[in-house]
Every structure is written in structure tokens, then in C-alpha cells.
Amino acid sequence: MAVAVENGRRMFDYWLTVYKRTWQGTMISSFLLPMLYLAAMGIGLGSFVDNNGTGALGGVSYLQFIAPGLLASTALQIAVGEATYPVLSGLKWQKFYYSMIATPLRPADVVYGQLAFIAFRVFTSCAVFLVIITLFGGLKSPFGALGLLVALLVGMATAAPIAAFATTLENDSGFAMVFRFGVVPAFLFSGAFFPVSQLPDWIEWLAYVSPLWHAVDLARNLSLGTVKPWLALLNIGYLLAWFLAGTWLAVRGFTKRLIK
């Protein structure tokens, strides 16, 4: 166990060193775009929504309604971005994963280090976004700050299975399906912008299957101070199940791909 932790730490140090040299390239996608989206949707569009009544939103402002959802959605998008092309690059194009396992590192150590770095990316980016949300008045309850942990959880619940999927690909064409049929629908129908109860029944149930819906629901309830313990446990358990299953599949996929 101690060896696995140490190996994972070394992998994380590697990715952190790489990020120190390339972090400027993530400024727009990780920090600027979420802030602009919050301003456009929460303040711009939100002013029209608020003027026409917010009864369907539980009586809170549109900014306070969508802010937790945008936080969770940002985490998902960052996680997917880090678990797709960078992973396939290490397996197919640059093949740096192969040099890693030429050392005492195991494929599992590579996975743990990669996921630890993705967690770092999600946490730091969402922490900045949470500060912006707070400054804009998007949190109604102090418990809304716990939304950062929810964002981290949904990020990992997404990153692990996507990384596992990346190990099955020979080119990046499969990622178009991930974004087109996974990320975009989840973003639109997760309840981030409107209650999913307003959707047709068959789409509403599909929304409940999405990990993002569970993260949005939990983050919003924390932010609004309306947490139901049983539902919060269900949300957390569902996200953990995705993360654990995805991690197991990722380790299996990396092992199969790297050790032939």
C-alpha cells in the first residue's frame, strides 16, 4: 500500500511539473469562459427571468439557481478534457505511458497519478470559479462552499470512466461521440438551467441517470440550504459508484493496453 501511494505521488509530481509549464493554455477554458458564462446566464438572462417571477425556481434568483449547476458542469467539462486527448496521447501518439511502466511503476500507479492530477485540475479551477460565484452573490447559504467538494466528486466520477474508454480507442474519433452524445446532453439536461421536472417524462428519467444531475442537485441544495440527508447520501453514493467502477475499468484498460 505504501509503495502504491509513493508511486502515485511520483506520477502526480510528473503531471504537476508538466502543468507548471503549460498552465497558461488553460486560462481561457478553465477560468475565463466559466466566468463569462456565469455573467451572461446568471446576470444577463437572469435579469429577465427574475423580472418575470421565479416561482418555478423555488423563489430564488436565477443566478442563485444556476450557479451551483455551472460549478458542477465546469468540473465535468474539465475532467472530460483531461481524461480524453491527454490519455490517448500517452497511449497512442507520444506514448509516454510506456516509458513510465519501464520503471518500477505499475499501470495502476499510472492511473492513480493521472486521476490525482485531474482531481487537482478540477479542484483548483472550480475553487477559483466558486470565489467568483460568491462575489457575484450566487450562494444563498454558507454550505454552498461545500459545492467545491461536489464538483471534485463529479469530476472524478466522470474522469475515471472516460479514461477507461480512452484505453479502448485507436484514434480520437470516439471522443466526438463522448462530447456530442455525453457531455452536451448532460450539460443541457442536468437541471443546471431549469428544473428537469419541466422535461418530458422519458427525458426526465434519462437526466436522473446522469452523474451530473446528481452533482447539480446536491450542489444546489447545499447552496440553497435545502439539503435532504437521504437524497444527499443517494447523490454521493451514485457519484462514488461511478468513480470506483471507472477507476477499476481504467486500471484494467491501462494494464491490457500497456502490458502486451
Q: What is the pLDDT along the chain (260 residues), one digit of tens a residue?
A: 555 566 666 677 777 777 777 666 666 666 677 777 677 666 666 566 656 655 556 667 888 888 899 899 999 999 999 999 999 999 999 898 998 888 888 899 999 989 999 999 999 989 988 988 888 888 888 888 999 999 999 999 999 999 999 999 989 989 999 988 888 888 888 888 888 888 888 788 888 999 999 999 999 999 998 899 999 999 999 999 999 999 999 999 999 999 86
The CA distance from 220 to 141, in Å, is 10
Domain count within the chain: 1
Q: So what's the pLDDT on residue 139?
A: 86
Please report whether residue 53 resides in a domain. no
Q: Could you tell me if residue 31 is inside a domain?
A: no
Look at residue 107 and tell me if it is in a domain.
yes
Cα–Cα distance measured from residue 107 to residue 136, given in angstroms and rounded to the nearest whole number: 43
The cell 458542469 sits on which residue?
73
The pTM (predicted TM-score) of the whole model is 0.88
Phi, psi of 48 (to 5 degrees): -70, -40
- CA dihedral 234→232→73→67, nearest 10 degrees, is 160
Structural domain including 159 reads 60-258
Give the phi and the psi of residue 189 in degrees, each rounded to 5.
-115, 30
Compute CA distances 197 → 57, 102, 114, 182, 190, whole Å.
Answer: 11, 52, 37, 20, 11
Give the pLDDT of residue 204. Answer: 83
Residue at 9 is within a domain:
no
The answer to whether position 94 is within a domain reads yes
Residue 138 lies in a domain: yes
CA angle 170, 75, 136 (to 5 degrees): 150
**Domain contains 252:** yes
Half-sphere exposure of 151 (CA within 13 A, CB side): 30
Instruction: Give domain status of residue 40, yes or no.
Output: no
What's the number of CA atoms in the CB half-sphere (13 Å) around residue 11? Answer: 27
